[in-house]
């Protein structure tokens, strides 16, 4: 398995030699490599078994770095960055040629973000290159929110995991496309739509699905927890599927009559931020339980509930549901 530690200098030394290192952020753990080294970036796609058509996000230490790697940065984007960065938001801009086409999957745009994690910011400040870093898990599976999650799935393939503790937000960053005349949301995430619209002073369109994604997280199926997933009214689903070994992912209350150890409640108090923070870890837990189907319920379609529902929708749309989901 990989070495886990909090040695920023060791992580930096490995990254300088083209190695991959898992890094903590406020959203999820990322699998990082030198974004300007195409050979190192190839390693990300290889270790994750990620298709080359799915672009990567590039992490930088400060908004001043945006102009090094992107062109045509609108004033609105810089004003938003001043309000929310470091934070769980990725900005999509026309890329400079310095960024390899492999990073952007051939698209003329690049996603840039400033992670809100002291350890990773210190790492970025110690390097003279940015870090390409998708989530540190095999492609299509549940994103990791603890160093131990990374070690479980990728520990044999990478040398070092920078352990920064549990992720504070627990959902990937929101992606905003500023390469078009009107900005639009390409991925719902850890910064709510309402907050972004308030900062920008305008309503935004949301376009989060694509078979040829310009940004990560746009594929219609994703977040495979290792078990089929159904989403809806969990009490009705439990009654209709009473002959199955069910796992339950509830928002506030468990379902009566189902083994308590096979249930996970995202937020008994109905806190959407707590629910988002717990979501990936609780979804991941079902892979280790003796259940053959996970039933889940929608969260309120507001704030971070929208982003959690987006992940549930993609988990339920995956090919792992075609056999045995009832």
pLDDT means per 10 residues in the chain (326 residues)?
Answer: 96 98 98 98 96 95 98 97 98 98 96 98 98 96 97 97 98 96 95 96 84 66 88 97 97 97 98 98 95 97 96 89 56
- Global pTM reads 0.93
The β-bridge relationship of strands 174-177 and 89-94 is parallel
Strand-pairing partners, residue 31, are 22
Among the three residues 141, 171, 201, which one is the final residue of a domain in this structure? 171
Residue 194 lies in a domain: no
Domain holding 310, by residue range, is: 229-321
| Residue 325 pLDDT | 46
* The two three-digit tokens of residue 247, written as one number: 């796992």
| Residue 218 pLDDT | 65
Same domain, 15 and 100: yes
> Phi, psi at residue 32, to the nearest 5°?
-105, 150
Residue 293 lies in a domain: yes
Same domain, 159 and 234: no
Domain count of the fold of the chain: 2
Question: What H or E segment, with its residue span, contains residue 184?
Answer: strand 184-187
Same domain, 135 and 265: no
State in Å, rounded, how far the first CA of the chain is from the last one.
Answer: 37
CATH number at residue 22: 3.90.870.10
């Amino acid at each position: 398995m990989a070495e886990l530690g909090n040695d920023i200098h060791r992580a930096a030394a490995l990254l300088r030699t083209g190695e991959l290192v898992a890094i903590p952020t406020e959203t999820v753990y990322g699998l990082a490599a030198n974004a300007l080294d195409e050979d190192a970036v190839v390693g990300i796609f290889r270790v994750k078994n990620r298709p080359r058509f799915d672009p990567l996000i590039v992490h930088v230490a400060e908004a001043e770095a945006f102009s090094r790697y992107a062109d045509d940065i609108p004033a609105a984007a810089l004003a938003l960055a001043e309000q929310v960065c470091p934070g769980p938001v990725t900005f999509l801009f026309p890329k400079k040629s310095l960024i390899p086409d492999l990073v952007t999957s051939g698209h003329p745009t690049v996603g840039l973000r400033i992670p809100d994690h002291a350890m990773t910011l210190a790492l970025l400040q110690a390097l003279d290159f940015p870090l390409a870093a998708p989530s540190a898990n095999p492609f299509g599976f549940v994103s990791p929110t603890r160093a131990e999650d990374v070690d479980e799935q990728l520990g044999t393939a990478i040398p070092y995991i920078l352990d920064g503790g549990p992720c504070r937000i627990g959902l990937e960053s929101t992606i905003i496309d500023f390469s078009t005349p009107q900005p639009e949301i390409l991925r719902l995430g850890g910064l709510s739509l309402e907050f972004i619209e308030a900062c920008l002073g305008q309503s935004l369109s949301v376009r989060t699905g694509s078979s040829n994604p310009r940004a990560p997280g746009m594929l219609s199926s994703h977040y495979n927890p290792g078990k089929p997933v159904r989403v809806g009214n969990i009490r009705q689903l439990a009654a209709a599927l009473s002959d199955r070994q069910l796992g339950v992912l509830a928002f506030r209350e468990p379902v009566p009559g189902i083994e308590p150890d096979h249930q996970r409640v995202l937020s008994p108090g109905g806190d959407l931020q707590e629910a988002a923070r717990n979501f990936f870890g609780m979804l991941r837990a079902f892979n280790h339980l003796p259940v053959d189907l996970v039933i889940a319920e929608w969260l309120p379609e507001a704030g971070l509930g929208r982003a959690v529902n987006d992940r549930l929708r993609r988990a339920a749309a995956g090919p792992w549901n075609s056999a045995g989901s009832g």
